Chain A
């Protein structure tokens, strides 16, 4: 039986608005897909899931059309299933290990997860679980995937959890980074609502280290802290012209559009430049998100310039396909060397060089070299740089006694504890990867925090 395709909106219509691209399975489609699962005796898919969801079990319930039980299985391990069903890189994780993957027909685990989470979202947010509280206070710093996962798990263990967020809205990268058309904000809001109903307190507009110090937190009887401030600091390429006008970091572009609603300027106050020819540099999810966002703001042409080949792009395959359907052009094996501005310092072109792929180096990646004399110009009126992010330096620099590595990451032991007793860290501030890996760290850290608190209360 063939894989049931995730239904999506017409590319020519969807590229003009910010509404969700994928409809999600209908019940009929869900049943068809769920029944494709072989229910392996030794399921390999579970090993591909960083947070260890019992995948065959939840799919079995779905195949029996018992979405309630399916969702219970999911939520045992996952505090944000509706988010993961949409943004996880399933093809490199659970679906990669599916026995059917060999024939390129792996079960669409992500789409099924999304179905189970979505149909139960409202029910779940209204249901009440009784947790016996132990009254011990834990502070989570940062409300992104790592923080919410760690906080959610600690909450279920009975701890009194407060999450501090520096922005004016919670969710971290899920809020400001991942676009509405991929992760509608009501989905995130429902997940947050469920967590708040469990007793999670979320305090906004509070930059720990500045608004409130770590010392003050311990003074307020918090027994442990979990630092999950993420990788907020955008990387710039250090090439001429990177500070020209209308050269943006992907973070700035996405924050303007999705957090500040600048696509709705002047009804919303944050301005955005609506460019005609956009060049996005990078090949990750952020690059694809930025490209598709630019298209939706009305760009006539959007090019994604990436230094490796399409197959090596770290972005989710589905997003690459969607972007192409919408008209985003991929320019691969190409690297920018210079941004050229007009007399008023507005960017007007990118000078690029072609890349030659060499042998595999000792890090397992193919060695890249620029082809001399291959320089050429791409005309543009807006450049978006999606070259990755460094850890946000503010909090680490304000806590004495932490160990910070050369990249700015906080160093922890195997149990996610820093050299400072009671201060734990996880997510992209410890090791930059993706949403689900951050959640995995959040989960493991929650267990470690519990062990620590039990030991210290004895």
Chain B
């Protein structure tokens, strides 16, 4: 059982939890994730590690209420327990000096980006960050990201903050102006696909942190398999980051939608159970 030590409501539908898991905290590195299961009837879901606190023995996770499990997670309070919390999983980010790094995140992806650029900056990289979101109230960790970046740009689809448009609009400009050592991207799959189209044309090494459906997260099932440069890879053991010329984005997008109908059913049931007075008992 893993206790929620601290809770912060970052945005109306985005929360940050500090979970007591001293072993995970001790060994976690930037780029890794955890798998959690809220209770005995729960599903296992992966979440990127957003930070750790060694003194408190805690691991920070930041999540957006999107599916049934994240909604249920959001309904917990400080002092509540999460049944299972295993990690750190996956390979950590390779931290070395590339001179200049362009880091790109979309929406909740910013939570995973922060520990990565922190490490990359500490070894002397110049960090340019581009953050995109649908609108202003989905931009998170602005201050922290500013601190770790040499320059930072924001874009929103509706123009409520920063430049109106997409991260790729900014990215194109940056790439044209300077020589880039590496691009690091984390966020919605459509965003990463768009980033890959731009950086591939310019032959810029790009690392993607991919987010397929996972089940066990320890290499047992292959639910998270993706085609990287024509080869089947498991995101949980071979990734989650891939330095790739070609990711089969269409395949990834399609596999992410595998259980859409059932996911909606679970959400509706959860909402009904929450709201229905009869079901509340």
Interface residues of A (CB under 8 A from B): 166-168, 176, 204-207, 210-213, 232-234, 236, 238, 242-243, 245-246, 248-249, 251-252, 255-256, 260-261, 265-271, 273, 344-345, 392-394
Contacts and interface: CB of A to CB of B under 8 A. Distances in A.
B215 A255 contact: yes
B239 interface: no
Nearest to B273: A266
Interface string B220-241: 1111011100001010010000
Interface size class on chain B is 35 or more
A166 B34 CA distance: 12
A268 B68 CA distance: 11
Interface of B: 23-24, 27, 37, 41-44, 68-69, 83-89, 215-216, 218-223, 225-227, 232, 234, 237, 248, 250-251, 254-255, 258-259, 262-263, 265-266, 269
Given A168-B37, A266-B269, A260 B44 contact: yes
A344 B23 contact: no
A255 B89 contact: no
25 contacts: A168-B83, A168-B86, A176-B220, A205-B86, A206-B86, A207-B218, A211-B24, A232-B218, A233-B234, A234-B221, A236-B232, A242-B232, A243-B232, A251-B222, A252-B215, A252-B223, A260-B215, A268-B41, A268-B42, A269-B43, A270-B43, A270-B215, A344-B254, A393-B237, A394-B218
Contacts of B255: 243, 245, 345
Contact of A167 (B41, B216, B232): B216
A271 B84 contact: no
Contacts of B222: 234, 236, 248-249, 251-252
Contact of B251 (A166, A243, A265, A270): A243
A265 B42 CA distance: 10
A108 B199 CA distance: 66
Contacts of B88: 210-211
B259 A273 contact: yes
Contacts of B266: 265-266, 269, 271
A266 B122 CA distance: 46
Contacts of A270: 43-44, 215
Nearest to A232: B220
A354 B241 CA distance: 40
A205 B259 contact: no
B42 A269 contact: yes
Contacts of B227: 243
A207 B86 contact: yes
Contacts of B223: 248, 252
B84 A261 contact: no
Given A168-B37, A269-B266, A271-B266, A211 B259 contact: no
Contact of A168 (B27, B68, B84, B259): B84
Contacts of B37: 168
B232 A211 contact: no
Contact of B27 (A212, A243, A261, A268): A212
A236 B263 CA distance: 27
Contacts of A210: 27, 87-89
Given A271-B263, A394-B218, A213 B27 contact: yes
Given A205-B86, A210-B88, A345 B262 contact: no
Contacts of B220: 176, 232-234, 251, 255, 392
Contact of A394 (B219, B226, B248, B265): B219
Nearest to B67: A269
Contact of B218 (A242, A248, A261, A392): A392
A270 B265 CA distance: 12
B251 A256 contact: no
In this complex, which of A166, A205, A268 has the most chain B Cβ atoms within 10 angstroms of its Cβ?
A: A205
